[in-house]
Chains A and B, each alone.
Chain A
Amino acid sequence: MKSLETYLRALRASGRKALVPYFVAGVTPHWVQHVEAAVHAGADAIEIGIPFSDPMMDGVVIQEAALRALQAGTTFDSLCTDLAKLSTSVPLVAMTYFNIFHHYGLERSAGKLQSSGMSGAIVPDLPLEEADQWRSACAAHDVANIFLVAPSSPADRISSIAKATEGFCYASARMAVTGKSNNTGEGARVVSEIRAVSDVPTYIGIGISTPEQARAASSVSDGVIVGSALVQIILNGGGADDVESFVGGFRRAIDE
């Protein structure tokens, strides 16, 4: 079992619901301080978005953040260098589109993730059918490859995905790109279908923008992922204090 999954299973066994904030690497010069603030406020793991020019699964907020990060010169290498400044014990999970790793080299990418302290990867445009080579590269470097399940996934696909995912299973609450706020949508149904075939930790993401939504989602799952709402605060010029207060609000709601 990958280190990430061992860690997240132990977290669940301790009775704690996981809170996983998402950051776009390089969106501001001090983005690593934002990550530290989130950990301080009670995040259990961090999703590190590696910016890509064509983020097909992302709405306008993360598109804008990715654009700013790229204009600031952020690269896979540069954000890994930035992460060396980060002192935290919580796991880091990379999130990006497949072309970044494809271009960098799959084996080299997995090695880079490992040496930079990222123990997992989410690649939303890499479905199970195309993932064999990437999974082999991850296997050699203790990187957990996390798959998504969508509300549209039929039972046979959910079963295959839940067996293949490592670390946790990412349950999309809605048929939408990131950043469309709503209720927790179909998250509960998706989670129960995953749980019927696997005991892998299952987190709900996409469409969670308020502490109330996070509380509802975490009550039917093992954790929640919060992306666009947090990235919006940073785009608006928010600093580490604002991040800490935002993440702290989610933490309290989940723990209530």
Chain B
Amino acid sequence: MTDSKVFMTPPDERGHFGTFGGRFVPEALMPACLELETAFVEAWSDSHFTDEYRKVLHEFGGRPTPVTPLHRLSEQLGLRIFAKREDLAHTGSHKINNVIGQTLLTKRMGKTRVIAETGAGQHGVATATAAARMGLECTVYMGEIDTERQALNVFRMELLGATVVPVTSGSRTLKDAVNEAMREWVTCVQDTHYCLGSVMGPHPFPWMVREMQSIIGTEASQQLQQLGVEEPDLVVACVGGGSNAAGVFAGFANSSTRLIGIEAAGGSAVGKGSPGVLHGMRSLLLQDEFGQIEEAFSISAGLDYPGIGPEHAYLAASGRAEYFAIGDEDVINALQVLSLTEGIIPALETAHAVAWILQEAGKQIPLGSTVLLNLSGRGDKDVAQVREILRAQS
């Protein structure tokens, strides 16, 4: 990190983080993106709006989430590990932070309906939850394969009053759910907001979602100080699109803390991708030699995405954050270890970050280091899948 550079500031006026980001959308969606940008900029500098956002996240979302020292795991690994407990937020993950912000903004813009894409179902459930609370209509696009492996989340969304549309095109996972949500948005942009679930898509989404998730890092930084940790040596978070990582990184971007993003090996856009344009943004993407987008493969539906948010591509290119990949085989073990040693069943997505800490303790992570793990979600949604995998192994 160079001392002169300041990170995780607003992008340029057209939404670029270095050479990444931007706004690559059909003309039909440009006015909506511009309207959203104006609305967000106004709302985010309006204390009535931000007070309401924090109030709802407190009264309804369960914030602030605690920071938990992981005593037994710390002792086993020779580290000092703390977990930021986004798994304890309402709906079981950090996704609630973003959807409360965006649904409040939807109402402020005078729109009555939200649409969303979802992979694992976490963002879909969160959006359906926020929509119910705010009295908005909600339709969620979900890859057909994901509706099967996360059937309970489909039912949760329906209980919350949302309509779930299985997407049967292309890879039938998160990538195509985004395509379908974009196609739908073109037809209903007048009264509908697209509540995008990660720090991706066209400007202002990557910036706006990072801002709405930065409450994670802001809280964690203060909570660590209260625990006597001025600055952790490392912050570790899993990365699909990258919203939980962006949120926690934002609290430490301009410190000397190492920022570590952990991708799924089968969806490693930083590790195996190259610059390209998809879903409204220029970022790092998995693509073949002809520029056709490749499918990601991961045990966790939430990381099954062939790209990464553009600000992460920029943080990687600038060297401010580092990104590593973890394979499926290490994820199940990490989920079991955290369950057994700390009494926390993490989401499969989060287990990637846990696995990297287990793997690198005493190697890339010097013994004695202070580590903040962003515990982005709870594993309840994954236990049926994990049970099947463990049964097949035994």
Q: Decide if A59 touches B287 in the complex (CB within 8 Å).
A: no
Q: Which residues of A contact B291 (CB under 8 A)?
A: 52, 99-100, 102-104
Among A81-89, A148-156, A222-230, the stretch in contact with B: A148-156
Residue A30 is within 8 A (CB to CB) of chain B in the complex: no
Chain B, 239-268, contact with A by CB distance < 8 Å: what is the 0/1 string? 000000000000000000000000000000
Q: Decide if B30 touches A153 in the complex (CB within 8 Å).
A: yes
By beta carbon, the residue of chain B nearest A172 is B28
**How many angstroms between the C-alpha atoms of A42 and B293 in the bound complex?**
36
Given A60-B169, A99-B276, A177-B183, residue A148 in contact with residue B27 (CB < 8 A) = yes
Residue A91 is within 8 A (CB to CB) of chain B in the complex: no
Residue B344 is within 8 A (CB to CB) of chain A in the complex: no
Among A59, A70, A98, A127, the residue within 8 A (CB) of B27 is A127
Q: Which residues of B contact A103 (CB under 8 A)?
A: 274, 276, 287, 290-291
Residue A256 is within 8 A (CB to CB) of chain B in the complex: no
User: Which secondary structure dominates chain B's binding surface?
Assistant: mixed
Within 8 A of A (CB), among B86-122: none
Among A67, A99, A151, A175, the residue within 8 A (CB) of B287 is A99
| B118 vs chain A, min Cβ distance (A) | 18
Q: Decide if A125 touches B25 in the complex (CB within 8 Å).
A: yes
Q: Decide if A129 touches B187 in the complex (CB within 8 Å).
A: no
Q: Decide if B292 touches A127 in the complex (CB within 8 Å).
A: no
Residue A90 is within 8 A (CB to CB) of chain B in the complex: no
Q: Which residues of B contact A63 (CB under 8 A)?
A: 169-170
By beta carbon, the residue of chain A nearest B13 is A129
Interface residues on A, range: 35 or more
**How many angstroms between the C-alpha atoms of A153 and B170 in the bound complex?**
30
Q: Decide if A176 touches B187 in the complex (CB within 8 Å).
A: yes
Q: Decide if B183 touches A127 in the complex (CB within 8 Å).
A: no
Chain A, 71-89, contact with B by CB distance < 8 Å: what is the 0/1 string? 0000110000000000000
| B185 vs chain A, min Cβ distance (A) | 10
Q: Name which of A63, A148, A152, A157 has the most chain B CB atoms within 10 A of its CB.
A: A152
Q: Decide if B28 touches A125 in the complex (CB within 8 Å).
A: no
Among B14, B182, B183, B290, the residue within 8 A (CB) of A59 is B183
Residue B26 is within 8 A (CB to CB) of chain A in the complex: yes
Q: Decide if A130 touches B22 in the complex (CB within 8 Å).
A: yes
Given A59-B183, A129-B14, A152-B32, residue A99 in contact with residue B277 (CB < 8 A) = yes
By beta carbon, the residue of chain B nearest A75 is B290
| A81 vs chain B, min Cβ distance (A) | 14
By beta carbon, the residue of chain A nearest B183 is A177
Q: Which residues of B contact A148 (CB under 8 A)?
A: 26-28
A-to-B contact residues, CB < 8 Å: 52-57, 59-60, 63, 67, 70, 75-76, 97-100, 102-104, 124-127, 129-130, 147-154, 157, 161, 172, 175-177, 180
9 A-B pairs with the lowest CB-CB distances in the bound complex, closest first: A103-B291, A150-B28, A53-B292, A150-B27, A53-B293, A99-B277, A177-B183, A148-B27, A152-B31
